Structure 1
Amino acid sequence: MDEKEEDVQIEPVEPVSKEDYNPELDADTKSNTKYLIIIIAIVIGIFAISLGGLKFFDGSPTGGLVVNVDQQHIDNKDGKLDPKEGYIYNGFSYVKVDGLWWAERKTQDRIIKIPLHFAPKDLEDIPVIGKLSPEFDIGDKVYVAIDPKIEDKFYTLGISELSFNMAKGVNRDPVGACIEENEACTDYEIISCENSGGKPVVELALGKQNIVELKGTCMKITGKDMGFVKAVDRALLKWYGMMS
């Protein structure tokens, strides 16, 4: 059934500054537990304020980016782009603009623009194993559980990418948490896939294998270096229903 175009609201693309969302973090960047949890809180705040009609940034770059991304999606659907610039995957359009891949996904009455570092063809080698229970989808909040001992720029980047997309595209509020006791975690819940208590949890871990593991109410994302960011993007596209 054809849908009327006026019934669909296309969400604006929030401008992504180098300070807030950088495709390649500086080599000297260090993360710590409080900083990582603050990232989760900041992306929620930015998203909430944008919904309220306020802007942190100048409007001029926003308009240019919107036009560029929108036009690229039009050209992509018309088959005018080189595969390195854009392609259709499982019926969804992906285009590369300013170093990021932008996907379009319709949800209810909106078309959401999703920023990712990797598109589906880059992620086909990342396994997703297991299955989530229906309880994972209950409620507005999802605990994003980090390892307080980790200081790693790719870990920081993956957390930023995950939290931004959770708040924007999956309509779930990411809540910062730690997987174990730590002096920086005194104000945060201690929770993990092994100790979820039936609550929805996304646990983030560094490891040699890039993999997404689903079990009960927990999604565990593991990877190494930029492979960790790839695993995050693979999990997001699975969550969005854009990859199997």
Structure 2
Amino acid sequence: MSEITKDNIAEELQRDLEELEGRKTKKNMTKKKNNKKAKKETKESKKETKESKKEKESKKKTIEKKSDKEHTVTTPEKNTDTTPVDPEPNPEDELRSKRVFYGGIAIIIILFLALLFGGKYISADDPTGAVTYGGFEFVKDDTHWRFSWQREGVEYRIPLRFNPLEAETVPVKGVLDPKFNKLSPIYIVFDPNDPQSDFSHLSLGAGELSFNLVQALGKQIESACATAHESCGNHSIVQCGDKDKAVVMLKTASPTQITIQDTCITIQGEGMELLRGIDYVLYKWYGIIR
């Protein structure tokens, strides 16, 4: 049996301490290793949690964006048209407007037909030829006497139904007020209620008069009625004697003549005689008949 000595006890104690220290160190190392591993795992877990959170937020935003897109209501463009909306039309006003509209069209058609085709049905019986009057030469075709006339350097080829020699014999009563030439418009008037009215020749006469006044003489004209009638629509009611109005009144009546009162010229005649009176007035305005 070995002798137990103080030195042996010291050595044994030293070994035990070293072994204990070694275990402690190993334990600490294991603990540190475990702590390090735990920290790493915690860090990775946090990272995964963060990434998962980001992924969830991204998905949420995608879903919200898609939802917003699906529920987006297209806003209509703002109407910048400031045109006022008309109120619901009154049936009577609408009927009246239609009557005026179609009446206006009818008048225009009548005037143009009178100018373009009227001569095929109603014409003067003068033979084809030529006439010189007041320095102007007049040439006859099938329906009109034509001559050249200038205003402000522009030449016009004027067609009238009668030549000046035929028109100058129309009787004229009265003197025209010079104020007539300063008034505008010139009202071309007839009486729709006159039982003697020959509307075919009145239309021809109004067409010839209107064409020459507007195209060559540069006057402004307006159609009017002497008395109220449904065919007049919204045309003015104008009569001789109306103050400050230039009036040319057309009448179907005998004898053929021209009556002048202040600023009103009344031209009357039956059939083509009405056109002869109208041509006299036009020749006066052209300065051919003096």
Per the shorter chain, which TM-score range? 0.5 to 0.7
Summarize deviations over 1:178-233 as a string: whole Å, max 9, x none.
Answer: 01111222401111213x22211111111111112222111111111111111111
Is the 2:198–2:271 contact (alpha carbons within 8 Å) kept by the matching residues of 1?
no
Give the total of aligned pairs: 172
Which has more strand, going by share of residues?
1
Summarize deviations over 1:16-66 as a string: whole Å, max 9, x none.
Answer: xxxxxxxxxxxxxxxxxx4797239966xxxxxxxxxxxxxxxxxxxxxxx
Identity in percent:
32
> Structure 1's 102 and 36: CA in aligned 2 closer, same or farther, altered over 3 A?
farther
Code of the residue aligned with 1:137 in structure 2: it is: N
The 5-angstrom pairing of residues 66-105 of structure 1 reads 84-105=128-149
* SS of aligned partner of 1:214: strand
- 2:87 is matched with which residue? none
User: How far apart in 2 are the matches of 1:94 and 1:108?
Assistant: 21
Is the 2:183–2:245 contact (alpha carbons within 8 Å) kept by the matching residues of 1?
no
Bigger RCO of structures 1 and 2 (CA < 8 A, at least 6 apart): 1
- 1:117 is matched with which residue? 161
Q: CA deviation at 1:129?
A: 2.4
Q: Which runs of 5+ in 2 are unaligned?
A: 1-102, 113-126
- 2:15 is matched with which residue? none
Code of the residue aligned with 1:190 in structure 2: it is: I
User: How far apart in 2 are the matches of 1:220 and 1:232?
Assistant: 10
Summarize deviations over 1:98-155 as a string: whole Å, max 9, x none.
Answer: 3211122222211221111111121232112222112211144211111113343222
Is the 2:187–2:221 contact (alpha carbons within 8 Å) kept by the matching residues of 1?
yes
Bigger-Rg structure (1/2): 2
User: How far apart in 2 are the matches of 1:89 and 1:175?
Assistant: 31
> Structure 1's 187 and 41: CA in aligned 2 closer, same or farther, altered over 3 A?
farther
User: How far apart in 2 are the matches of 1:135 and 1:41?
Assistant: 31
- 2:261 is matched with which residue? 215
- 1:176 is matched with which residue? 223
TM-score by length of 2: 0.54
The 5-angstrom pairing of residues 92-171 of structure 1 reads 92-149=136-193, 150-171=197-218
Consecutive aligned runs of 4 or more in structure 1 exceeding 3 Å deviation: 34-37, 39-43
User: How far apart in 2 are the matches of 1:151 and 1:93?
Assistant: 32
Q: Which runs of 5+ in 1 are unaligned?
A: 1-33, 44-82
- 1:8 is matched with which residue? none
> Structure 1's 129 and 111: CA in aligned 2 closer, same or farther, altered over 3 A?
farther
Code of the residue aligned with 1:173 in structure 2: it is: Q
- 1:203 is matched with which residue? 249
> Structure 1's 40 and 90: CA in aligned 2 closer, same or farther, altered over 3 A?
farther
- 2:22 is matched with which residue? none
> Structure 1's 219 and 98: CA in aligned 2 closer, same or farther, altered over 3 A?
same
Is the 1:140–1:171 contact (alpha carbons within 8 Å) kept by the matching residues of 2?
no
CA-atom RMSD in angstroms: 2.5
Which has more helix, going by share of residues?
2
- 2:239 is matched with which residue? 192
User: How far apart in 1 are the matches of 2:137 and 2:281?
Assistant: 18
User: How far apart in 2 are the matches of 1:206 and 1:42?
Assistant: 18
- 2:47 is matched with which residue? none
- 1:226 is matched with which residue? 272
Task: Pick one of 12, 18, 38 that aligns with 2:107.
Answer: 38
- 1:3 is matched with which residue? none
* SS of aligned partner of 2:218: coil
> Structure 1's 128 and 111: CA in aligned 2 closer, same or farther, altered over 3 A?
farther
Code of the residue aligned with 1:163 in structure 2: it is: S
